[in-house]
Structure formats: C-alpha cells, structure tokens
Amino acid sequence: MENPLIVPFDKPFNTAPFSELKIHHYEPAIEIAIDMARDEINSIASNKEVASFENTIEALDKAGETLGRITSIFFNLNSAETSDDIQSIARDVSPKLSQFNNDITLNENLFKRVKAVYEQRDSLELTPEQHTLLEKNYKRFSRNGANLNEADKTRLREIDSQLSKLTLQFGENVLAATNEFELHLEDDSRLSGLPETAKEAAADLAKTKGKTGYLFTLDYPSYIPFMTYADDRELRKEMTMAFGSKAFNDSHDNQDNVLQIAKLRYERAQLLGYETHAHFVLEERMAMTPDKVTSFSQELLDKAKPAAQREFAQLEAFAQEHATANGYELDQLQKWDSAYYSEKLKQKLFDLDDNLLKPYFKLENAIDGAFEIANRLFGLSFELVDNIDKYHEDVLTYVVKNEDGSLNSIFYADFFPRSGKRNGAWMTSYKSQYVEQGENVRPHVSIVCNFTKPTGTKPSLLTFNEVTTLFHEFGHALHGMLANTTYRSLSGTSVYWDFVELPSQVLENWCYEKEALELFARHYETGELIPSEYIERIKAASNFQGGLATLRQLSFGMLDMSWHGVNPNEILDVKSHERETFKNTDLFPDVVTNCMSTSFGHIFQGGYSAGYYSYKWAEVLDADAFELFKLRGIFDTATAASFKDHVLSKGGTENPMVLYKRFRGSEPSIDPLLKRSGLLEETV
C-alpha cells in the first residue's frame, strides 16, 4: 500500500488521513519529503535566471510544503498521542530535519540569490507583506550562519543536531516522570475536603488501571483539585514534592540536559556574533534587547512585590487562624499550603469557590459559549462533523464557516488527558492559510487541553480557571482561523513571539463579563442561568492575589533569562542557580528536593527560550486592547472588525507594534494591566 503521507490527501477538505496512518509510515515519509524539499531548494539555488522576488523569495515560501504538513502531523502527535515508537522516530528524524534546515540556510548559492534580491529591495515596489517576507528570508540566512566560514558552519550543524536531540530527550523525560508517579489511596478518610467530582474522577482512574480505591496523578485535572481541596497536609506535601521534582535527581534526570542545552544555545549565539542566546532571540521580538526585558520585568516587579508581600502576610495569618480554629498547629506556610489556604481565603472574602461554579461550566456549554462569542465578534459559525479523520476518539472536529457561508477553516479540539499526551494546553496547526493562484487556501487548526473527563454520573465540569484556559487556546485558534495573508510563513500565529499571546489572552477577558457569561454559563442539571451575584463575585475575585500571581509569572520569565541572557558555562549546579534567581521573587520556603528548570518545557523544549516574559508583555497589550472593547461594548462589531482587520488577519506581515497602533490608535499603556491586577494603587 502506498504511503498515505506522501500522496495527495483525499480526505474531506484535504484534511490529514489519521485513520490510515501507521507507525511505519512516518519515518519513510519524512525522509522522502526531505528529498522532495531539497530538490525544490536546489532548483531555486541553481536557477540561471536573474534572482527576483518571484523566483527566489516567493519560491522559498512555497518550498517544502509537503514536508511541513507531514512534520506538523507527526510532531503534533508526539505531543498529543505519543508512544515509545513515535518518540523513537522523533529521536531519529529530528537531527535529519535539523541538518536539512542547515542545508538551506548554509547554502551559499541560495543565499547569494536571496541577498541579491534584498540589496535591491528599495527599487522593487514591494507591498508591506512582500517587504516583510523578503526581510524575514534574508535574516533567516544571515542569522543562521550564511556568513560563517566553513569550519564554523560545520560546528553550527553539530550544535543544531545536538540541540534537536537534547530538547526531545528533555520532553520525553518530563513525560515519563509525570506518568511514573501515582498516589493510590484506599482509605476514604484521607480524602477529606475533596469535592465529590474529584473523588469520582480518581475512582474512575483507579478502575481503568485495574486498582481499587482512588488514584491521583500529576496530570493537572487530578493534581490541581487535590492541591486545592485535600485537607490531608502530608498528602499535599507528597504531591507537591513529586510535582516539583519531575526529572530532578530521579531516573529521568534532566539536569545535564538543561546545562547542555543552555551552553549549546550560548555557543550558537556566540558563533553567530551575538552576546548571548537572549540577544539572538530578542533581535526578532518586540522587546528587541535583554535590557528592555529586564527593565520591563523590574518595573512590574517593583509594582507587584509590595502587594505580593501584603497578600502573603494575609494568607499566612489566615492559615494560622484557620489551623487554630480547626485544632491543629501550622508551623510555617509551605508551598503545599498555597493553593489550599488561598482557596479557603477566597471563599471567605468572596463567598466563591470552584465547587460553587463548576455546575455552571459544563464543557460542552463552555465550548458553545466560545463559539457564540466568536460568532458575535467575527461572524464565524461552527458545525460539529463526523466525516473528518481524527487521531483519537476524544477529538472533536468542526467545519468553521464565515458569515457569508464560505469555508473559514477546519477545527480540531482535544480536551482530555491520557498517558500519551503531555500536560498543559496549546494550540497548533495542521495546515497554514495562504493564497495561491487566486485561491485563499484555508487553515486547519487545533487546540489541545487537559480537562477533567466525564464520569459515570457527571459530565466534564470545568473550574473557572479551566474556562479561561479554554478561551485562551481558542483565542490562539481564532488567530489561525482568521488569517488572511498571501504567504504561508507569515500566516496566522507566525508573528513575533511576544505578540502571539495577545489574541489568546485578550479573549480571556470575556470570561469575566456578565454579557458573555450569560450566553453559556447554565447549571448542567437545571439549566438555570448563572446567578448575577456569582458573576459579581467572579469579577470581584478576578484580581485576588494579583500581586502573588504577577510575582510568580515574573519569576518564570526571570528564570528563563537567567539561563539564556548570560554565559551559562559559569553555571555549575542547576538547583543552586535556580535558587539564586528566585531569591527576589519566592516568598515561600524552598523545597530542597524540587527544581523547576528540569521540567520547564516552555523554555527547554517549546519555543519560549528567552521569551517567557512574553506572557506578561502580552498582558499589557491585552489589558490595553480590552479597555477599548469595554469602552465601546464587548460585542461592538466595529471594534471587533478593527481587531480582526489590523491584528488577527495580518499574521506576521508587518511589525506588530505598527499593527497594534492601527487598531488602538496609540502604543499600549501599562495602566490597564496594573488596574486589572489590583496594582495601580501602588503607582499613585
């Protein structure tokens, strides 16, 4: 049988043929696609015609399309539905892909043609999008070794090959460590405090593993409720220590991988003429320099830390008071106490907790709510269909249409945890949007989450935090769906990394608005609309412990910069380095056996190295952007159209600050974020 990955897909809407894919298809298909792409690249490089924008820059944008589709399928599955076989193939093909990418950027003839077009750019009468594509391609070469001598090019290839292997191994170790831990309980008395939904989910999980009693894991839908509600402090401690020690001093230890990745990235940057990896990365970000990131982070830290210290003192006093009232002593507030007492304090202050809200947030209703909001803002409609192949039975597939009935996109949604799926939530793409021969080819996008599965008696009921997670990832998906650019490499979420979180984070704001919540927040049994007083409590609690939350997020960004904005060869011990970095942000006592860096997948496996600060950067943008919606109405169609036309549809076609200013009329102000986080009073 012919390999289904290397022939034209014959599924509806040209979607991926998941049902036909077998393990033995992936590696041969990738190797064949690499050869196909290499032929396309060589054809461009050896073209005897004078280099032009069309025969060089546009041709490069089209080259490797088959390889791109195959690898997007494969590596998305390696995150969402992996196995030992898939991980083994990933280890084999990643260095080959790295080598192929090096073959492109280190191809002298190809670079000469790109450079020839670049040098005449001012006389070519290019559109802004074409100018961006040209500049992006030129930098792709110049920033990745095209100007190096042969010895340095060889070393660059070696570094990239090593990095591809190490980052894969890092992720595999984290997943293995996550899956390895189980807390198995048979004594009901140790479940005190846990909601019935959490107990039922734990009982169902135990049954699937052939065990009696209850099973808790480090997957978020299991871990978060346990840490939030379990009265048993010793068990919370056990879970915290297991979660925080993933891939640290265990059989899946990542310490050496962390050090090697950081050192190789530094060496690579130095080879290319940059001071550090952060200098290399940030040249292509809105922030531009490590100094700008540091000053931005410090400004927020100065605003947040006094509030965080007050909030911590309040939490500590409340915890002591609660312990005394319940007949036990609390020696010192520890990390395993944070979520537990924070939840109880929130209940006391706002009479609000997840168990009160969850009945109103049935997953299916929340999905419908996100769809309805997208319809009101952007005219999109979503039809659940069963004729599109999926890689797992849990995946939902939708045909998305525009207001005029034309096809907008194909949308995949994958909501529940399983052993072959990494933790967290993310958006991804199986096919980019682009225009070719007059046809606007529409994208195939996906969101992947880890929400609580339905049980035998209850549907999937989301915490409010999970609702905002759903909207966050759906915001990314809208960025992909509403893409309307000519070129593949500039489409959708192909934007500066510190701009990519704007569409996702801005959509979270609708979760706090009465007009939006009343579209979907209905009791799963009675159909009763969420009471207005609950919505008021949600809004009142929205900046609860805003200082602590800001401090926590800043600490992650600072840890990232501490690995990538320095010479890491001077770092001898991962844990000691981390402790030194956290000394100005961590208010809780250190847990000696825990280390964040060894499982910090965002920066050591994902694409956030020297870019984790972008979450806070984008919060400034999203708070400022939503101010305009609040001023004009959260469903104001003119404001939504402006956001779509100037931000969502434009992808990476122009500098993001230019795009943002077209929408907002000015550069973003930090004040809306400070106000939303309850920190503005610190500035007056």
Cα-Cα end-to-end distance for the chain: 71
Report whether 276 contacts 283 (CB < 8 A).
Answer: no
Query: SS3 letters for 617-670?
Result: HHHHHHHHHHHHHHHHCCCCHHHHHHHHHHHHCCCCCCCHHHHHHHHHCCCCCC
Tokens of 543: 């900046």
Kindly give the residue spans of alpha helices, DSSP state H, lying in 81-190: 84-105, 108-119, 128-142, 150-180
Alpha carbon of residue 274 to chain centroid: 27
Kindly give the residue spans of alpha helices, DSSP state H, lying in 326-423: 335-350, 354-357, 363-378
Tokens of 532: 């207005």
Tokens of 377: 């803002």
Query: What is the C-alpha separation between 361 and 459, in angstroms, rounded?
Result: 10
Going by the DSSP 8-state scheme, the letter that residue 413 receives in this structure is E
The position carrying tokens 């599965």 is 453
Query: SS3 letters for 4-35?
Result: CCCCCCCCHHHCCCHHHCCHHHHHHHHHHHHH
Query: What is the C-alpha separation between 246 and 261, in angstroms, rounded?
Result: 18
Decide: helix, strand or coil at residue 545.
coil
Tokens of 34: 């690499």
Angle among Cα 530, 536, 537 to the nearest 5 degrees reads 95
Is 533 an annotated catalytic residue? no
Angle between helices 464-481 and 501-508 (to 10 degrees): 140
Tokens of 607: 């694409």
Query: What is the C-alpha separation between 496 and 482, in angstroms, rounded?
Result: 17
Cα-Cα-Cα-Cα dihedral sign, residues 248, 250, 252, 255 = positive
Please enumerate, as own/partner, the contacts of 292-299 that have beta carbons within 8 Å and a separation of 24 or more. 293/557, 293/561, 293/565, 293/613, 294/561, 294/565, 296/613, 296/616, 296/617, 297/554, 297/557, 297/558, 297/561, 297/613, 297/616, 299/670
Report whether 509 contacts 629 (CB < 8 A).
Answer: yes
Going by the DSSP 8-state scheme, the letter that residue 53 receives in this structure is I
Polymer length in residues for the chain = 684
Strand partners, 444: 410, 431
Query: What is the C-alpha separation between 21 and 84, in angstroms, rounded?
Result: 16
Report whether 660 contacts 621 (CB < 8 A).
Answer: yes
Among residues 616, 586, 613, 591, the alpha carbon closest in space to that of 602 is found at 613
The position carrying tokens 């507030």 is 333
Active-site option among 473, 501, 513, 627: 473
Among residues 622, 600, 595, 625, the alpha carbon closest in space to that of 611 is found at 600
Q: Which residues are catalytic?
A: 473
